[in-house]
A and B are shown apart, each in its own frame.
Chain A
Amino acid sequence: MKPRVATAWLGGCSGCHMSFLDLDERLIELADKIDLVYSPIADVKEFPENVDVTLVEGAVTNSENEELAHIIRKNSRLVVAFGDCATTGNVTAMRNPFKLEDVEKRAYIELADKNPRIPDEYVTIAQLLNIAHPLHEIIKVDVWLHGCPPTADQIWFTVNELLQGKIPVLPPVYLRYG
């Protein structure tokens, strides 16, 4: 059976997933090696059980992210913080020095084109947390993959190490922020 791999998209810009697609022809090679069981680029509604490796992009910035993070942890053998937002909070966390209500006011009222109001339908809309957290503040993380976004080479190295059953130790050339 091929390793079951998932990727998830929390509070980020999807740039890390774009970089993942930058693997280009290596994607074909990868497709032979793994089963992609859940991903923003695959149409799967529920996060499946019994996943070997999950790459998580983005910071934990709202209630939906948090819930999904816990499910990911529960169902995955290894969790990779995928990119700088998942590792440090990065751009997503740039709201953190400000109060949540000021952030919401800025986003929903001051910058609104029409119908300015702060949403409160939290059944259908995710609720912002007080601050955006790096993934390891919410769940236990096994591997951190830096970069904003990580380069395709970094991703390739990490995924291959994981597929060989190794916890990757990134060589200095791949340890880079931003």
Chain B
Amino acid sequence: MAVITFIIDDEQYSAQEGVTILQVARDNKIHIPTLCYLDGLSTLGACRLCVVEIEGSPKLFPACTTKPTENMVVRTNTEKLKKYRRIIVELLASEGNHQCAVCVVNGHCQLQDLAYEVGLDHVRFPYLFPKKSLDATHKDFVMDRNRCVLCTRCVRVCHEVEGAHVWDISGRGIHCEIIADLNQPWGTSANCTSCGKCVSVCPTGALFEKGASVGEMQKEHDFIKFIVTARNKHEWVHIAPEDE
């Protein structure tokens, strides 16, 4: 495959053709915030946090799906992008009911990390206070839709890696919700193998283990990449946690 040279934030980089901007950035320790993206899962391009500017185009491009071309000039952290990323986090914060007791203590919530990153000191939009349900019918796990950011990592990991397809989305727009089976209590799902992959990939506290103490509520986001690499390449290597 051809190697292409392009520019990210005034520095020149080389990359294999076909690799995404996000991948090149991560390989070179350039931080671009992401939320729906997770190594090992299909890319969705839905959270729009990783949008970057490309010189010569008035549009913004998600770094997770856009492939660089020769001499492309990419900017990952302009004032406009910073402004828009902050709005995205504000929108998420206003959308759910994120008064959590857990994450602030153990620091393991990626929504919280993003809020710190964009310097979110207050949310300018009115909080929507939706009435969302909590599903504690599963013997090991709980789904609290109040904290869900609809990144669909759980949907994808269950379908793509576990092959069970327990999770899916119902409703549309602001009324979207993650549901088990055809909107049945999770505990009654005959498909669910109780593998816990969905819980591991959840970026917030929407999916968590029953009976775990606050300090134990830690997610293993890199473990899916380990499984997928093992399956596809037969390489049982543990990859160091990505900068997410």
Do any beta carbons of A and B sit within 8 angstroms of each other in the complex? yes
Give the interface of A toward B (CB within 8 A). 81, 87-91, 93-94, 96-97, 131, 134, 136-137, 141, 144, 146, 148, 170, 172, 175-178
If the complex has contacts A96-B129, A137-B126, A177-B104, are A90 and B99 also in contact, measured as CB distance less than 8 A?
Answer: yes
Q: With A93-B129, A97-B97, A97-B129 given, name 8 new contacts (CB 8 A).
A: A87-B122, A88-B99, A94-B97, A131-B129, A134-B127, A170-B121, A172-B116, A176-B116
Residues in A with CB closer than 8 Å to B233 are none
Residues in B with CB closer than 8 Å to A93 are 99, 127, 129
Residues in B with CB closer than 8 Å to A146 are 121
Q: Within the assembled complex, what's the spacing in Å between the Cα atoms of A97 and B105? A: 25
Residues in B with CB closer than 8 Å to A134 are 122-123, 127
Query: Would you call B185 an interface residue if the criterion is a C-beta within 8 Å of the partner chain's C-beta atoms?
Result: no
List the A residue with the shortest CB-CB distance to B125. A137
Q: Within the assembled complex, what's the spacing in Å between the Cα atoms of A97 and B96? A: 11
Give the interface of B toward A (CB within 8 A). 93, 97, 99-101, 103-105, 112, 115-116, 119, 121-124, 126-127, 129-131
B122 touches A88 (CB 8 A): yes
Residues in B with CB closer than 8 Å to A137 are 126
Q: Within the assembled complex, what's the spacing in Å between the Cα atoms of A93 and B122? A: 15
A96 touches B116 (CB 8 A): no
Q: Within the assembled complex, what's the spacing in Å between the Cα atoms of A155 and B122? A: 17
If the complex has contacts A93-B129, A176-B104, A178-B103, are A141 and B97 also in contact, measured as CB distance less than 8 A?
Answer: no
Q: Within the assembled complex, what's the spacing in Å between the Cα atoms of A16 and B126? A: 23
List the B residue with the shortest CB-CB distance to A148. B104
